[in-house]
Amino acid sequence: MRCYYHTASDAVAVCMYCHRGVCTECAAEVEKGIACKDRCEDEVAAVMGYTAKLGQQLAVNRTSNLGWSVWFLILGLILTIGGVALFWLDIDRGYGVGAFAAGVFLVLAGLLSLYAARRSIRDLRSD
């Protein structure tokens, strides 16, 4: 690809705003993005700023998922222990088995969403 502004020069990058090839002379680095020097710098800065904001919002959403996972785990553990106690102490065996099963299910769901939330946060940080 040739530089859009200097047809004699090879393009080394593509402007993130107008998608034209730019040579080393015309490329300007703006917030980790490439822009045409003196032409698209402001536009690329705006696009990169918007993308960064979107990423922060996603991170916030994922962190609140983490809170749900913890509640699942706590509720699941209470049900599991309660179920075992009901069964073990012979208070209500049928109810105990039901609570135990529901508790194990909640703990598993909590662990799974905790794992998923942690992994997506790590992905986000490595960007």
Q: Is residue 15 at the binding interface for Zn ion, with CB under 5 A as the rule?
A: yes
Nearest CB to Zn ion, comparing residues 25 and 42: 25
Cβ nearer to Zn ion, comparing 17 with 87? 17
Beta bridge partners of 33: 30
Distances (CA, A) of 73 to 19, 90, 106: 48, 25, 6
Which of 13, 30, 34, 40 is the binder for Zn ion (CB under 5 A)?
A: 40
> Smallest gap, in angstroms, from Cβ of residue 50 to Zn ion?
17
If one asks whether residue 3 binds Zn ion (CB under 5 A), the answer comes out as yes
Q: What angle do CA 64, 68, 70 make, to 5 degrees?
A: 110
CA distance 56 to 8: 41
Distance in Å, CB of 79 to Zn ion, minimum: 58
Q: What is the C-alpha separation between 85 and 91, in angstroms, rounded? A: 8
Interface ranges with Zn ion (CB under 5 A): 3, 5-6, 15, 17-18, 23, 25-26, 36, 40
